[in-house]
Amino acid sequence: MGFIGQVWWVRAGEDPVGAIAIDDADFPWLSGVFTPAPGFAAVRGLFARELALTDWDDEECREEWEGVYDEIRRRVTLTAPGGPVPEFLLHIEADRAWFRWSDEPFEEDGSTRPTG
């Protein structure tokens, strides 16, 4: 795939949150080195909480995760080299980020529940 070497951006409005330099493509997931921008400080805690809630055997965790991820989606966008993507599932931990994206919603109900 031609994704290796691309730089994708996480933004809050027009403000950069960070850059993802893609170094691995395992369809449907892309991953890479995450370089935070000043805007990351405002959402760092959300991404940490999102990862802490990925116990899908626990209904309460799953519901709380959905709320946290909804807040992430309200606050940030993901921009590919060709422009913003309308749907994405993004995880950030330390200097790594991994995500999947779509030009359309993942499911009819718009759910972004992760599969990996």
pLDDT digits (tens, 9 = 90+) for 21-51: 999 999 899 999 999 999 999 999 999 999 9
pLDDT of residue 107: 65
Query: Could you tell me if 39 and 12 are in contact, meaning their C-beta atoms sit under 8 angstroms apart?
Result: yes
Q: Which residues of 1-116 form beta strands (DSSP E)?
A: 7-12, 15-26, 29-36, 77-80, 83-84, 87-93, 96-102
